[in-house]
Amino acid sequence: MKMNLKALSKALGVCALVISASAMADDVTGAGSTAIYPVLSQWANTYKDKTGNSINYQSIGSGGGIKMIKEKTVNFGDSDMPLTPDQLKEANLVQFPVVIIGITPIVNVPGVKPGEMILDGKVLADIYMGKITKWNDKAITALNPKLHLPDLDITVVHRADGSGTTFYFTDYLSKVSQEWKDKVGSNTSVQWPAGMGGKGSEGVASYVAQVKGSIGYDEYAYAMQTHLTWTRMVNSAGKIVSPAPKHFQAASAKTDFAHASDFYTIMTNAPGAESWPLTATTYFLLRTDSAKEDNAKVVKFAKWFLHNGQEQAAKLDYVPLPEATIKLIESYTKTKLGV
């Protein structure tokens, strides 16, 4: 699927309008992560064609998805940030992984093409701290000796809404920068030291596309579908890697979902020479106290795309879950929800 930024933003806007007008008529309602929207919208369309059942999803950010499932206004939420087992228990929720995603820095620097720039965690943290303010700063040029970087101000772009993508991004920065951990920390929303906020993955992508000298972070599928300039990264093993499914897979391979309570795991800064440092998982959230038939509709959809939506996910640069994890999910929903 190839879609330019204008078309993607328009599609997302139309989606929100359709959702508000027709939510009562649809079979299943959900809300949350914008990172999953490109593949979830494809799954929903195909599922409707195959079964006649509608999936009505609001792409509003992980924070919004968590809020809405807690308030019982949707059948499922989707969050890129996993909730801890204690948080799930307190809110009468369960969660299970849906697909592996990659988050990538995106830049708008004249003369720099996708994949040409290299960043590491320390430099990325210092940029977002507002300590590195020019693209020709010696810390950036040291990583990119072959690039001609301009004497251009850096404009930092971050998420303005509660975001699981932000959680993983700030979790990574907290792992590679003690200063970031002490002064900013990690959450779906933080007090940003610098920059401007965009709403949703599409908002960040839009700002970076428009503002010369900008840097942002976004789900890899958005970067690819909107033809933005992504960077390579130095990973925890000191190796330079590109944001690509094989490197997301390498990072996720270190995760043992079988021994993770309620599938709670965080993959950032994973070990291994091939691992992409900003690898993450997106999760469905359901209520344990919802009507069994409502949860059954959601789980039926999830089982369908976990078994039949793998090819669509891979084409959009997501990493499908392995069969062993899918079996764990099916056992988990049967035990926790009875469906």
CA 80 – CA 87 distance, rounded (Å): 15
The answer to whether the beta carbons of residues 65 and 78 sit under 8 Å apart is: yes
CA 309 – CA 39 distance, rounded (Å): 9
* Single-letter residue type at 7: A
164 is in an annotated binding site: yes
The DSSP annotation for 157-210 comes to EEESS--HHHHHHHHHHHHH-HHHHHHT--SSS---SS-EEESHHHHHHHHHHH
Closest CA to 320 of 302, 300, 295: 302
141 is in an annotated binding site: no
35 is in an annotated binding site: yes
The answer to whether the beta carbons of residues 333 and 299 sit under 8 Å apart is: yes
List Cβ neighbours of 194 (8 Å cut-off, separation of 6 or more).
Answer: 128, 129, 130, 156
288 is in an annotated binding site: no
290 is in an annotated binding site: no
Annotated binding-site residues for phosphate read 33-35, 62, 80, 163-165
Q: Which residues sit in the known binding site?
A: 33-35, 62, 80, 163-165
